[in-house]
Amino acid sequence: MTVAFPAARTAIVTGAVSPRGIGRATARRLAAAGWDIGIIDLDDDASAEAASELAASFGVRAAGVGADVSDEAAVRAAVDGLESALPQIVALVNIAGISSPTPYLELEPGEWDRVIAVNLTGVHHVSRRVAESLAASGVGRIVSISSVSAQRGGGTYSKTPYSVAKAGVIGLTRALARELGPLGVTANAIAPGPIDTDIMGGTLTEERKAEMAADLLVGRIGTVDDVAVAVEFLLREDTGFITGHTLDVNGGLYMN
């Protein structure tokens, strides 16, 4: 049985503070589409500020709390807080992530652990807590950001542990789709190619963008809105037949 979306519904978006990032653009796009927004990012004040901005710009309800997604107790407390402050949680968008450009033979053990902890275990922590609420209400959407790096073994900026974590996100997504489907919850991943944000060692110069675009079929690297629109699509009530999917948003860099 399909449970309808409630009229007032909240999407939790992790990693939505970075001003030029995918998370901020996605939160704005979802707010414009009528979603109330709960933000989880590293800093409490910055998360609250990003939420206030959304509420002021789009007239939605929004709240933001600080938590490191790799810290399970902090994540549970953050989601508990957002759940009590906002309308029913219907969606989770896992966007928080870090880059890792270190070549394999120069990797320190700490870097491997840190990247897996944030980019994969962090997605699990937030998904696990939010899935409890979605399953209880019998309706929900989970979208997690993977990367073309998972499919091509790197090849953009970040290397080994990043590729491994992002490949893990695809496996996690498929396993969640299988287990949560009967409970009314879909789970999908998005695998972006290079997107113009600050995660690849700072703001990209025009030269770097042109170099990256050379491998792409559409003649340009991606924008944050290219990813945000894909998230919005997968969160819609009428896309509930899509689950376990990885949506490539990569300008043709890799064809699955």
User: What amino acid positions are annotated as catalytic residues?
Assistant: 162
- CB atoms inside a 10 Å sphere around CB 125: 25
Strand order in the sheet with 36-41: 62-66, 36-41, 10-14, 89-94, 140-145, 185-192, 246-249
Give the separation between CA 90 and CA 35, rounded to whole angstroms. 9
Complex with ligand NAD: residue 177 or 199, whichever CB lies closer: 199
Binding site for ligand NAD (CB under 6 A): 14-15, 17-18, 21-23, 41-42, 68-70, 95-98, 118, 122, 145, 147, 192, 194-195, 197-199
Which residue type does 184 have? G
Complex with ligand NAD: residue 17 or 86, whichever CB lies closer: 17
The DSSP string of 115-129 is: HHIIIIIHHHHHHHH
Distances (CA, A) of 120 to 85, 173, 221: 27, 11, 25
Task: Using alpha carbons, select from 211, 204, 169, 216 the residue that is nearest to residue 69.
Answer: 169
Distances (CA, A) of 111 to 20, 124, 161, 162: 25, 19, 8, 10
Q: Which residue is nearest to ligand NAD (CB)?
A: 97
Close Cβ partners of 125 (under 8 Å, ≥ 6 residues apart): 69, 70, 71, 72, 75, 76
Complex with ligand NAD: residue 197 or 240, whichever CB lies closer: 197
Smallest separation, CB 1 to ligand NAD (Å): 34
Give the separation between CA 247 and CA 250, rounded to whole angstroms. 9
Smallest separation, CB 221 to ligand NAD (Å): 8
Smallest separation, CB 7 to ligand NAD (Å): 30
Smallest separation, CB 62 to ligand NAD (Å): 15
Smallest separation, CB 209 to ligand NAD (Å): 11
Complex with ligand NAD: residue 44 or 132, whichever CB lies closer: 44
Give the separation between CA 22 and CA 239, rounded to whole angstroms. 21
Complex with ligand NAD: residue 41 or 232, whichever CB lies closer: 41
